[in-house]
Structure formats: C-alpha cells, structure tokens
Structure 1
Amino acid sequence: MAKDLLVTLEDQPGEGARLGEALGTAGVNIEGLCAFMEGGTGSVHVLVDDPAGARAALEGAGITVDAETDVIVSPALPDPDLDTPGVFGGMARALADAGINISLVYVVSRNRVVLATSDNQRATQLLQTMM
C-alpha cells in the first residue's frame, strides 16, 4: 500500500539528490513527489510503495521522516476526458458534499491523484463511482 512520507530538507544544493540517491540505492521507487521551500527549509512529500524500506533508507542518509500518511492513489487516468479542466473540482465537490475534508492532494506519475482525507475509506468508495 502506498504511503506519503513527509521529510524536511535544507534549502540548498544537493538535498534532493541525497533523498533520491538514498531511495534509489535502497531500490525504493519514488511514485510521486511534491516539495516546497520556505524560510531556508523544504517540506517534501514522497509517495512510496515500500514505506518501511523508504524510512530505513532515508534515516540511513540522515533524513528524518516527520510523518507517514495513509493516502488514496487513484488509478492512472488514461481517458483523455478525465484530464480536463474541472475534474478535480468535481472530485473535491463530491467529497465536500459528503462531509469529507481533503488534507493533502497532489498529482503524480501516470496522471494519478494522491489524496489524504478525513475518511479515506468513504472517499475511496465515493471516488470510485466517479471514475
């Protein structure tokens, strides 16, 4: 099961390489990545299928895993009609109308959406009816 790992890196050259090399050397594939820098540090979300292996690799490289979050990963969206303006708005509206809060969202490889919500089980069931 895929997990989102949150790490904090310094905002300086080589930090992304350190993260990527640690995971690559351990054979852990980065399924998705989202990062933003502010105030000299960066918050980095890394989507992995092997959270235990990723955690061990990162911590071995001196990178602390700050959080591990269960996430929903949509299937790849090969249908061009799903890669159009308004699709995310429709998904977000359906979740909101069901009283489900989105706490994390980003798009990853193969045009998949990663979501963490206040109720991943109900959100998964609801979103499956939309796909």
Structure 2
Amino acid sequence: MDVVLVECPNQPGEVARVSEAIAAKGINIKTGACLCCGDRGTIGLVTSDESGTRAVLDEAGISYRTLECMTVTMPDRPGELARVSRRLAEAGVNIEFFAPTVLDEETTLAVGVADAEIARKALAG
C-alpha cells in the first residue's frame, strides 16, 4: 500500500482540486490527512487504486511523491502512538505520514479548519 503526498499552496480549494480529480476517475479515497504551515501544505492520501491515482495526478499536472505505507494495530489508550513512534525512531525510521484507517463501514475524521463556525455552516447546507 502506498500513500500519495501532494505538496500544494495553503489556500482554499487545494484539497477540493486534488480530491475532485481523483473522484472524477471513480477512485475512492480510503483515508487521508493534510497539514499546512505558512503558505505551503501537504495532502496525504491512500486510495483504492494506487496506479490510477498516479495516472490521474500526472494527467492533471499535479506533482506528488509516494511512500510505502504499512498498517500498525495498537490498543486505544494513552501513550500507544508514543510507544510505536519511539520504536520506529530508535530503528532510524522517519514517520512522514499517519492517519486513521477504515476500521468499520464508517470512518470519523477530525478535520482542522481556520474557522470552524463557517465550516459547520457550509456542511449543514
């Protein structure tokens, strides 16, 4: 399994631009995360069709890179991410992406936004 990392400007519409291009080809985004700092951001996505996703991004002229992605199962309790990440660090492994995976038929995502009130209104309508 690979994760696709798209570096982009930190501006409205970037997540929409990337996800719309992928959706237009019928590819499902299984999980993802994005993080911005200053005027740049990175969108990380795991999709149902890795080669198709790369082809879509190439066709759309969206630059990206891929990383191998593995799954790690851990108990849901304080300190588990710290334990796992420390073990990886001690092995010289740099974590460049992590996000929840689908555990059931539904997934709940934490979505960080600059103005939660505007976001709630947008999703309500």
- Name the TM-score, length of structure 1 as normaliser: 0.65
Deviation at 1:30, TM superposition (A): 1.4
State the alpha-carbon separation in 2 of the partners of residues 59 and 43 from structure 1: 17
1:103 equivalenced with 2:101 (yes/no): no
State the alpha-carbon separation in 1 of the partners of residues 86 and 8 from structure 2: 33
Aligned CA RMSD, in angstroms, stands at 2.2
State the alpha-carbon separation in 1 of the partners of residues 61 and 89 from structure 2: 39
State the alpha-carbon separation in 2 of the partners of residues 7 and 95 from structure 1: 24
- Cα gap change, 1:61 to 1:32, in 2 (>3 Å): same
| Structure 1 or 2: more strand by fraction | 1
1:35 equivalenced with 2:28 (yes/no): no
Listed as ranges, the gaps of 5+ residues in structure 2 are: 104-125
2:82 to 78, 89, 102: 89
Listed as ranges, the gaps of 5+ residues in structure 1 are: 112-131
Deviation at 1:26, TM superposition (A): 1.3
- Cα gap change, 1:95 to 1:15, in 2 (>3 Å): closer
- Secondary structure of 2:22 counterpart: helix
- Name the TM-score, length of structure 2 as normaliser: 0.67
Percent identity between the aligned chains?
28
State the alpha-carbon separation in 1 of the partners of residues 38 and 70 from structure 2: 30
Deviation at 1:100, TM superposition (A): 4.1
